Chains A and B, each alone.
Chain A
Amino acid sequence: MSCHRHLHIKKAKDFMLAGKDVLVEKPLAMTKEECKELVSISEETGSGLMVGHIFRFHSALLELKKRIELGEFGEIHHISIKRQTLRIPRTDMGVMLALGIHEVDLTCFLLGDKDPDYIFADMNMHYGKTEEMALIIQKFGKTTAYCYESWVDPTEGKLRELTLIGSKGCAKIDFSVPDEITLINSYLNVKSINDKKSYDVVSGGNFTIRLDFKEPLLEEIRHFIIESLSDKNYRANGKIGSRAVEMVEKAILANETKQFVRC
C-alpha cells in the first residue's frame, strides 16, 4: 500500500478484515492511536501487517548492525545521520514524517531494537506549511543519536550519510550505496591509573568493505511475501511502525515544548 498516508488506516484495516496480508508504507498511520488500532486488528484477524521501514532491508545497515552486535566498535558513543539536499519541499508532510521517521527507527534498529529514553527536536519552517528542516536527538542511555534533515541545504549536494562513533572504532555509510561500508579504525585508548585517565590516539586507517549488492526495496517486498506465506514474523511489524509514529509525535512535542520528552 503506497497510497496517501491519510488513507493507510482505512485501507489497511479493510484489507486485513478481508483476510489479506498488508504491507503499508511508512508512516504506518497518522497517529499512534490509529497505529495501535491496526496492530490489534492484525492480532485479531491473523492477517499480516508489515510497515515499509526500508532501512531494515539495507545491506550496509544490516552489516553494520551485525558488527555492532559482535562488539567490533566497542561501546557506541554517537550515531550521526545527515540527510540534506535542495529540493522543493513536500506539501503533504514535512521532513519529520518524510525523513525523520526513517532515522528514529533505524537508530533503534541498529542498537538492537532498543527504545530511546528521551527524544528532542528542533523543527524549522521558512517556506510553507510543513517544516523543511529538523534536527532530532535521541538518547539511548550513554548513546546519543543526532539526525539532521533538510530540504533547503545545497552545501553538500545530495547527502545521505550515517556515521557511527564507537569506543573501539567508527564507521560510515552512504545510504545511496547500499553495498559499501567504510570502517575508520581510529579511537582513543583510555587507561585509568589511580582514577587518572590517560589517552593514546590509535590511528588504524580506513578501509572499505564491499557487500553483495541488494536493492533495499526488493529485499523489503521479498521479505513481506515470504513471511506472509509462512509465520508472518516481519522484521518491520506493526509494533515497530507504531513505535516510529509515536517517536515522531514525541519529537514534535519536544519541539513545541522546547525540551526533551521521555519516550
Chain B
Amino acid sequence: MTHIALIGVGYWGSNHLRALVKLRDEGLVTELIACDTSEISLKEVEKYEGIETETDWKNLLKDNNLDMVSIVSPSPMHYEMAKEFMLAGKDVLVEKPMALTSEECDDLINIQKQTGKGLMVGHIFRFHSAVLELKNMISKGDFGEVLYITIRRTALRPPRKDMGVMLALGIHEVDLTCFLLGDKTPDMIFADMNYLFDKQEEMAFILQKFGKTSAYSFESWVDPTQGKLRELSLVGSLGSAVIDFLVPDEIKLVNSFLNVKESGYGKEFEVVQEGETTVKLESKEPLLEEIRHFIVNSKGNRIYDADGIIGRRAVIMIEKAIEANKKGRFIEI
C-alpha cells in the first residue's frame, strides 16, 4: 500500500500527476492525493479518475495513511514543506532547487537524519537514459580522458518571474556535469550572468573546473537562433559524444580524436576519423523513472541517486556561481 500526495499541480506538477497516474496503473501507487491552493489548477486532476484533492497542504500533515509526498510547489515553499512533511513522518521528493539557500539545505539534511525519513531531490537528469549511458561509457573509459563538456540550453520564451536561468536551468547543468564525472565536485566555478529586461537574469554562462576537465554551460531565454536547443557535447581524448536532451533514448558518438605518439622528436599527432554512430537506448521517460526510484527506494533503504547531499551541493554551486558573477572571478568550492 503506497499513499502519495502531490503538492502543486502547476505546469511541472501536471507532469508529475501524469507520471503518478501511470505508476498507479502499474500498481506501484495505491492512492493518490493532489493538493494545490488554486481550484483552477486542481481542474487538471479531473482528467483522471479516483484522485482526492486538497487545497491546504497542512491538512495532509495529519493524514496518517499518507506515506510519501512529491513537492512541486514554487521554490520559496520547498524548505518549509519538506521540513514539515519529514517531521510528520512522510518520505519527501522535492523538486530542484531543494531550497533557496545552502543553510536551508543543511537544515533539511539534519531533519532527514533525525527523522530517518526519505529526502530526495528532483534532479531529473540523473534519470535520463542517454545521460546514464553516457556516464557508464565515461566510467568504462570509452572516451579516454574527458577534456570538455559543453551544454547549451537556449530558446526564445518569456522569462520566468520567480527565478532566473541560474536556478531554473543552471542548477541542472552544475549537477549533471558532476554526475557524469563520477559525482566529482568541481574545484572552481565561474559565471557570467546577464540582466537584459528585469531583475532575473535571462542569460548566463557557467564554467566549472574539475581538475583538467572543463564544463561550459550556456543558458538563455532570449536566443531564437537554434530553435529550442538542449544539447550536451562531450570531447574526450579518445572520442566524443553528443546528446539531445529532448531525445532521451539516443546518443551520437563521434569517433574522432587526436592520436598522440611520443617519438624521438617529441610528440607527434595524427587525426583519427572513424565517423559517427548512433546508439539507440530503450525509451524511458526521465520523470517517470525519477518518481519510480523515489517510491521504490522509500519502501526500501531510503538511499536515493539524488539525495539531500546532492541537492545541497547543487544549491551551493549556484550560490558560488552567483558570487563569481558579482566578483568577476572564479570562486573555489
Contacts from A to B (Cβ < 8 Å): 77-78, 80, 86-89, 118, 120, 122, 124, 126-128, 133, 135, 137, 142, 144, 146, 148, 150, 152-156, 163, 165, 167, 170, 172, 184, 186-188, 190, 197-201, 203, 257-260
Give the contact stretch, choosing among B104-112, B129-137, B172-180, B250-258: B250-258
Q: Check: B116 CB closer than 8 A to any chain A CB.
A: no
**B330 within 8 Å of A by Cβ?**
yes
B233 CB contacts on chain A under 8 angstroms? 153, 155-156
Give the residue of A88, A126, A165 whose beta carbon is less than 8 angstroms from that of B147.
Answer: A126
Contact residues in B for A122 (Cβ distance below 8 Å):
190, 207, 214
B40 at the binding interface (Cβ < 8 Å): no
CB distance from A131 to the nearest CB of B (A): 12
Task: Please give, as numbers and ranges, the residues of chain B lying within 8 Å of A144 by CB-CB distance.
Answer: 192, 194, 203
Q: How far is the CB of A30 from chain B (nearest CB, A)?
A: 23
Which residues of chain A are near B145, meaning CB under 8 Å? 126
The reply to whether A152 and B225 contact each other, CB–CB distance below 8 Å, is: no
Structural contact, B156 and A188, CB atoms closer than 8 A: yes
Task: Select which of B159, B223, B240 is within 8 A of A155 by beta carbon.
Answer: B240
Known: A118-B328, A127-B267, A259-B330. A155 touches B194 (CB 8 A): no
Main secondary structure, interface of B, reads strand
Contacts of A165 in B (CB 8 A): 220, 222-225
Query: How many angstroms between the C-alpha atoms of A91 and B242 in the bound complex?
Result: 29
Using Cβ atoms and an 8 Å threshold, which residues of chain B touch A128? Answer: 267
Contact call B158/A154, Cβ cutoff below 8 A: no
Q: B224 contacts A203, CB within 8 Å?
A: yes
Q: Whole-angstrom distance between the alpha carbons of A142 and B271 in the complex?
A: 40
- Please indicate the chain A residues that have their CB under 8 angstroms from the CB of B225 in the complex: 163, 165, 170, 172, 184
A199 to B190, CA, bound (A): 29
Indicate which residue in B190, B197, B257, B327 contacts A197 across the interface (CB closer than 8 Å). B197
Total interface residues in chain B, CB < 8 Å: 47
Please tell me if the beta carbons of A154 and B273 are within 8 angstroms of each other in the complex.
yes
In the complex, are the beta carbons of B196 and A142 less than 8 A apart?
yes
| A199 contact set on B, CB distance < 8 A | 158-159, 197
| Distance to closest chain A CB from B318 (angstroms) | 19
10 contacts between A and B (CB under 8 A): A78-B203, A133-B214, A135-B216, A152-B235, A154-B273, A156-B233, A165-B223, A184-B224, A186-B156, A188-B197
Among A77, A137, A257, which residue has its beta carbon within 8 angstroms of that of B203?
A77
Check if B214 sits within 8 Å of A197, measured CB to CB. no
What separation, in Å, do the CA atoms of A137 and B191 have in the docked complex? 11
Tell which of B156, B240, B273 has the most Cβ of chain A within 10 Å: B156
B271 near A77: Cβ-Cβ < 8 Å:
no
Interface centre among B145, B147, B241 (most CB of A within 10 A): B147
Bound-state CA distance A172–B223 (Å) is: 11
Q: Is B260 an interface residue (CB 8 A)?
A: yes
**B157: CB under 8 A from chain A?**
yes
Residue on A nearest B214 in the bound complex, by CB: A124
Pairwise interchain contact A120-B192, C-beta atoms closer than 8 A: yes
Check if A77 sits within 8 Å of B194, measured CB to CB.
yes
User: Which of A88, A120, A186 makes the CB contact (< 8 A) with B271?
Assistant: A88
Among A118, A126, A146, max chain B CB count under 10 A is at: A126
B237 within 8 A of A: yes
Distance between B279 CB and nearest chain A CB, rounded to angstroms: 15
CB-defined contacts of B284 to chain A, threshold 8 Å: none
Q: Complex Cα distance A230/B159, Å?
A: 53
A197 shortest CB reach to chain B, Å: 5
B156 touches A258 (CB 8 A): no
* B205 A190 Cβ-Cβ under 8 A: no
Please, which residues of chain A bring their CB within 8 A of the CB of B48? none
B265 → chain A closest CB, angstroms: 11
